């Protein structure tokens, strides 16, 4: 397939020669053949034009959930990857949130095979423990060899400190990454929103930020003792950023992410009792959001994830206490980040992550495989269900004004363009 991007503004600070320049880009059989001011289209070439066409290296999301196998009504792998492609992502890391949970090499092979032939690459996490019960380590080495990029009991903390110690020690032998969700279940109790003024006013049970900070403190102490690679997904507290910053100064091999909604929204939106705002970790205070944004800017927070969690309507259209945690986020990620950080910094954020999880990083030069995202950073829109490609519609950004629009992706010798 031949593709010609006409007058595309390149956003890639690593390639000084082309950064912020408008160029034509010719792609032949999945490879960038030529980058020049003007290129005449060869025969049988798909020409891509757009009034404000921008192009960058392909974006990656370090934590999404679909449904298949077991919860196909929420999202199939096929439609989940289509959603990712339409949202500008050429790679996603898949959380272990299906049924049965992926805790063996055969489960990882199934997930990898289910993503074969797609434009967006799927890289699954395997469960850290058997059945995600937090009792016995799963087949970590075998899953790594089958293609697992890390080991994670999704949204469940590793309650047993000795189990985390053993996991970090064992995984060092094959450069495995261990994930530990930052929440002490005993402190969190039956809470479901941030503990503070808003939870008190609304009469909702709270999860104090201390539940997150205690868990992170414990995990970092264990990491300092064992060594190894620890990733802490979706932090939400300003103090958590400070704890991780100290650990990084010590030289510990720790990374962390934040969910994009924890950067923009606070617990004040809960006043309408809209269950789309029920997420885990919960939306916290304005001060927490400010500290998290600072952490992203200075590199303490390594990645921003959509934390895409599709849920069918029966799990959300219930009383707040009974609703499931989670929001879809792939479709709105770029618009939110662009609003907060601006275009260049947003693209830098969206292309982080591959090296940490042992994935090949794409390159923006002639002769490199084309792994590109097309976007328009200036389009302003009110995000509605019409913009949702996911099977589930549980977005906490519905009816929010966002700035920026993904136009499509080019990867694996294929192109996806939004209509």
pLDDT tens, 347-397?
A: 999 999 999 999 999 999 999 999 999 999 999 999 999 999 999 999 999
pLDDT at 132: 95
Indicate if the alpha-carbon torsion angle 329, 333, 339, 341 is positive or negative.
Answer: positive
Alpha-carbon gap, residue 321 to 406, rounded angstroms: 35
Is the per-residue pLDDT at 63 higher than 90? Answer: yes
pLDDT-derived band at 170 (thresholds 50, 70, 90) equals: very high
Q: Give the burial string for 291-317 (b: 16+ CB within 10 Å, else e).
A: bbbebbeeebbbbbbbbbbbbbeebbe
Backbone conformation region of residue 131, classed left if phi is above 0, alpha if psi is from -120 to 50, else beta: left
Q: Are strands 2-10 and 45-48 parallel, antiparallel or unpaired?
A: parallel
Q: How far is CA 230 from CA 182, 210, 248, in A?
A: 12, 20, 11
Alpha-carbon gap, residue 353 to 331, rounded angstroms: 19
Enumerate the β-bridge partners of residue 61: 92
Is the per-residue pLDDT at 15 higher than 90? Answer: no
Alpha-carbon gap, residue 238 to 137, rounded angstroms: 31
**Environment class of 234 (CB within 10 Å of its CB; exposed 0-12, middle 13-18, buried 19+):** buried
pLDDT at 99: 94
| Residue 129 CB neighbours (<10 A) | 22
Helix (H) or strand (E) holding 246: helix 238-249
CA atoms within 13 A on the CB side of 329: 28
Alpha-carbon gap, residue 254 to 133, rounded angstroms: 24
- pLDDT more than 70, % of the chain: 100
**Residue appearing with tokens 């994830």:** 305
What φ, ψ does residue 43 adopt, rounded to 5°? -65, 150
pLDDT digits (tens, 9 = 90+) for 223-280: 999 999 999 999 999 999 999 999 999 999 999 999 999 999 999 999 999 999 999 9
Is the per-residue pLDDT at 77 higher than 90? Answer: yes
Q: How far apart are the first and last CA of the chain?
A: 19
pLDDT at 419: 80
Q: Specify the pTM.
A: 0.97
- Annotation marks residue 288 as catalytic: no
Compute the radius of gyration of the chain from its Cα atoms.
21
Question: What stretches of 261-355 show up as alpha helix (H) in DSSP?
Answer: 261-264, 286-298, 333-341, 343-350
Section 25-33 average pLDDT:
97
pLDDT digits (tens, 9 = 90+) for 280-289: 999 999 999 9
**Residue appearing with tokens 């507290």:** 237
Q: Angle CA(349)–CA(303)–CA(35) in degrees, nearest 5?
A: 30
Contact assessment for residue 152 and residue 125, using Cβ atoms and an 8 Å cutoff: yes
Q: What is the DSSP string of 379-390?
A: EEEE--GGG--S
pLDDT-derived band at 160 (thresholds 50, 70, 90) equals: very high
The encoded tokens of residue 232 equal 């802490």
Please identify which of the residues 307, 321, 363, 376 carries the catalytic annotation: 307
The encoded tokens of residue 293 equal 């944004």
The encoded tokens of residue 409 equal 């992706």
Domains within the chain, CATH numbers bracketed: 2-55+364-380+402-417 (2.30.40.10), 58-350 (3.20.20.140)
pLDDT digits (tens, 9 = 90+) for 119-158: 999 999 999 999 999 999 999 999 999 999 999 999 999 9
| DSSP letter (8 states) at residue 273 | -
pLDDT at 96: 97
Contact assessment for residue 185 and residue 207, using Cβ atoms and an 8 Å cutoff: no
**Environment class of 242 (CB within 10 Å of its CB; exposed 0-12, middle 13-18, buried 19+):** middle
pLDDT-derived band at 1 (thresholds 50, 70, 90) equals: confident
pLDDT at 188: 96
- pLDDT more than 90, % of the chain: 98
- Per DSSP, the three-state class of 306 is coil
pLDDT at 237: 98
Higher local confidence (pLDDT), 383 or 1: 383
pLDDT-derived band at 16 (thresholds 50, 70, 90) equals: confident
């Amino acid at each position: 397939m031949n593709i010609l991007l006409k007058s595309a503004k390149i956003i890639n600070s690593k390639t000084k020669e082309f950064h912020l320049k408008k160029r034509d880009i010719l792609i032949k059989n999945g490879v960038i053949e030529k980058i020049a001011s003007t290129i005449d289209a060869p025969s049988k070439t798909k020409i891509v034009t757009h009034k404000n066409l921008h192009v960058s290296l392909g974006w990656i999301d370090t934590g999404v959930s679909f449904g298949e196998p077991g919860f196909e009504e929420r999202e199939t792998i096929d439609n989940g990857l289509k959603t990712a492609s339409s949202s500008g992502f050429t790679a996603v890391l898949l959380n272990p949130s299906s049924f049965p949970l992926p805790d063996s090499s055969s489960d990882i092979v199934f997930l990898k095979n289910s993503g074969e032939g797609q434009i967006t690459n799927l890289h699954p996490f395997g469960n850290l423990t058997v059945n995600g019960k937090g009792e016995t380590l799963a087949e970590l080495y075998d899953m790594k060899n089958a293609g697992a990029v890390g080991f994670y009991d999704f949204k469940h903390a590793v309650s047993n400190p000795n189990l985390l110690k053993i996991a970090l020690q064992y995984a060092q032998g094959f450069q495995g990454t261990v994930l530990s969700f930052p929440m002490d279940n005993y402190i969190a109790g039956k809470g479901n929103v941030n503990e503070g003024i808003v939870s008190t006013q609304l009469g909702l049970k709270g999860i104090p930020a201390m539940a997150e900070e205690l868990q992170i403190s414990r995990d970092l102490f264990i990491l300092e003792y064992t060594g190894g690679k620890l990733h802490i997904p979706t932090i939400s507290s300003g103090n958590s950023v400070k704890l991780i910053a100290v650990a990084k100064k010590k030289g510990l091999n720790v990374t962390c992410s934040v969910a994009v909604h924890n950067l923009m929204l606070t617990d004040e939106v809960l006043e309408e009792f809209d269950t789309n705002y029920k997420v885990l970790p919960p939306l916290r205070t304005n001060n927490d959001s400010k500290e998290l944004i600072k952490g992203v800017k200075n590199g303490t927070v390594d990645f921003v994830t959509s934390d895409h969690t599709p849920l069918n309507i029966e799990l959300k259209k219930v009383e707040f206490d009974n609703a499931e945690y989670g929001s879809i986020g792939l479709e709105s990620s770029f618009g939110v980040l662009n609003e907060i950080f601006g275009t260049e910094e947003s693209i830098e954020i969206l292309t982080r992550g591959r090296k940490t999880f042992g994935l090949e990083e794409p390159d923006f030069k002639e002769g490199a495989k084309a792994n590109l995202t097309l976007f328009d950073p200036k389009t302003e829109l009110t995000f509605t269900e019409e913009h949702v490609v996911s099977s589930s519609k549980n977005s906490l950004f519905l009816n929010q004004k966002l700035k920026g629009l993904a136009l499509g992706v080019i990867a694996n010798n294929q192109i996806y363009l939004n209509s």
